[in-house]
Amino acid sequence: MKNNSFLVFLFLLISAIGFSQVYTNKVVGKKNAELLDSLKVQEYPYALPIWGDKATKKGFQLPYSAGVSLNYFWQESEMTFKNLEVGFNNGPMYNLDQIVRFHSAKVSGSALNVRPDIWLFPFLNVYGILGKADMSTNINAGVWVPDADNNWTEVLPFNTKTNFDGTTFGLGLTPTIGIGGGWLALDMNVAWTDIPQLEKPAMSFIFGPRVGKTFKLAKPETNIAVWAGAFRVHIKSETKGSLPLSDIFPSDGSAQSKVDQAQAKVDEKQTNVNNWWNSLSNAEQAKPSNKAKYETANRALEAAGNLLNGIDGALSTLGDSSVQYSLEKSQTNMWNFILGSQYQFNRHFMLRAECGFLGTRTQFMTSFQYRFGL
């Protein structure tokens, strides 16, 4: 069935990425003595960063105080879900945690964003984020029910890929310090991604500590920087929304056939559970283990019946029906490892690339930046 699951619209993929690409470096070493002396006597010509004149006199080489960058970001990651509730046509909501199992749930996509920034202090860069994201969800899941022996069987599989897009906006800051020719940066930002299928924009928080070193090249003002670090994504867990049922199920009748088959399987399981329970003596029914098994099976079968009856009723008026949903989502692994490098053509232009791996998230980012004094 096309767009088998209302779930595919719920998964936030892209929030925001970006950090300051240039750093406040402490000038050290005998070969840099001439540069160090010139920094200490030269008057700092710009209003930003605050205390910029004091920093240069202490031997720190500051980047231009303002900049704008164009960033491209791609990632693929696994998600985990809980507290799933579904309703139809604004009717009762049913919790499906017991019966819906996700074999795999991957989100992937790309984003293009613009990031203006300023150095507010020599050790603090602040920036804004505005971008567009193209995303897709790839879901392999199913509805499972038990029998009298607590053996679970899949009665309705979900396997779908859906594309959608969103707009991202956010704010970030990067505390940084130059240490002995190297630097430490602690990038963090909060962003909101507005997806039409959600009731309100989804919020995310990114934290990315990095440690790196910049190497001067023979040509004046050129250098290459390399770094390693970590990348942590936290997504606000609660998601609510509503979708037209016609966005999920095709109109060729195939969905109705699969739902009818699933309902028949649920009815068969319920009959088996009832027959097993009625075959027990009063003493056997009083055993906690048998009672727990019976109650667990009935709860699962009731939840599956409610879900399938809701879908069945909504399919009869497919064009006018809707699905309401609520769930909590999170990254399967919040952290992954990153490596990056940047080439500086001169103090105005830089090109950067960064990749992330390990854990359950893979990502790549490239960026081109222009800087100027302010």
Residues 33-74 pLDDT 10s: 555 555 555 677 888 889 888 877 776 668 899 999 999 999
At 250-262, the pLDDT tens digits run 666 677 888 889 9
41 in any annotated domain: no
Q: pLDDT: is 219 or 359 the higher one? A: 219
Give the helix ranges, DSSP H, for the chain: 33-41, 52-57, 254-278, 282-285, 288-315
Highest mean pLDDT out of 129-133, 256-260, 309-313, 326-330: 129-133
With tokens 């992954």, the residue in question is 336
Using N-to-C axis directions, what is the helix angle for 288-315 and 254-278, rounded to 10°? 160
Model pLDDT, residue 17: 44
Model pLDDT, residue 78: 84
Q: CATH number, domain at 275? A: 2.40.128
- Tell whether the model's pLDDT for residue 1 goes beyond 60: no
Can you read off the two tokens belonging to residue 347? 């103090």
pLDDT band per the 50, 70, 90 thresholds, residue 348: very high
Lowest mean pLDDT among 135-144, 236-245, 303-312: 236-245
Q: pLDDT: is 189 or 182 the higher one? A: 189
What is the Cα–Cα distance from 147 to 152, expressed in whole angstroms? 7
The candidate with the shortest Cα–Cα distance to 52, out of 151, 4, 132, 120, is 120
Q: Using alpha carbons only, what angle is made at residue 276 by residues 275 and 277, rounded to the nearest 5 degrees? A: 90
Cβ 189 vs Cβ 231: under 8 Å: no
51 in any annotated domain: no
Q: Is 3 left (phi over 0), alpha (psi -120 to 50) or beta?
A: left
Domain with 332 in it: 6-24+63-372
At 190-199, the pLDDT tens digits run 988 887 766 6
What is the Cα–Cα distance from 150 to 296, expressed in whole angstroms? 9
Domains of the chain: total? 1
Mean pLDDT, all residues of the chain: 81
263 in any annotated domain: yes
pLDDT band per the 50, 70, 90 thresholds, residue 161: low
58 in any annotated domain: no
Lowest mean pLDDT among 39-43, 78-82, 83-87, 152-156: 39-43
56 in any annotated domain: no
Cβ 369 vs Cβ 349: under 8 Å: yes
364 in any annotated domain: yes
Q: Is 256 left (phi over 0), alpha (psi -120 to 50) or beta?
A: alpha
What is the Cα–Cα distance from 103 to 93, expressed in whole angstroms? 24
44 in any annotated domain: no
164 in any annotated domain: yes
pTM of the model: 0.72
pLDDT band per the 50, 70, 90 thresholds, residue 14: very low
The candidate with the shortest Cα–Cα distance to 303, out of 48, 85, 112, is 85
